[in-house]
């Protein structure tokens, strides 16, 4: 259950960051996970911690930018 909460929170961060409609947030997270070959839960944990930590791994940052761009946001 904890991983679902983290994933939901990460969807919120992605939606806010990219100005996406809610239904696209999960798709962006999934693209980042697939492109980086990092488990979705781990991607979500990093994205949720990113605003507080001011750190995001370079591979996730690049994949997130690409996924948001592909979604037509960046």
pLDDT string in tens for the chain (74-residue length): 568 899 999 999 999 988 998 889 999 999 999 999 999 999 999 999 988 888 899 999 999 999 999 887 65
Residues 64 and 35: their CA atoms lie apart, in Å, by 9
Count how many residues are written for the chain.
74
Whether this prediction's pTM lies above 0.75 is answered by yes
Whole-number pLDDT of residue 60: 94
Q: Are 28 and 67 in contact (CB under 8 A)?
A: yes
């Amino acid at each position: 259950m904890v991983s679902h909460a983290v994933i939901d929170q990460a969807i919120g961060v992605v939606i806010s960051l990219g100005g996406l409609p809610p239904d696209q947030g999960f798709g962006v997270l999934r693209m980042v996970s697939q492109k980086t070959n990092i488990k979705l839960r781990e991607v979500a944990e990093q994205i949720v911690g990113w605003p507080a930590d001011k750190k995001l791994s370079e591979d996730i940052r690049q994949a997130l930018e690409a996924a948001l761009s592909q979604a037509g946001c960046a």
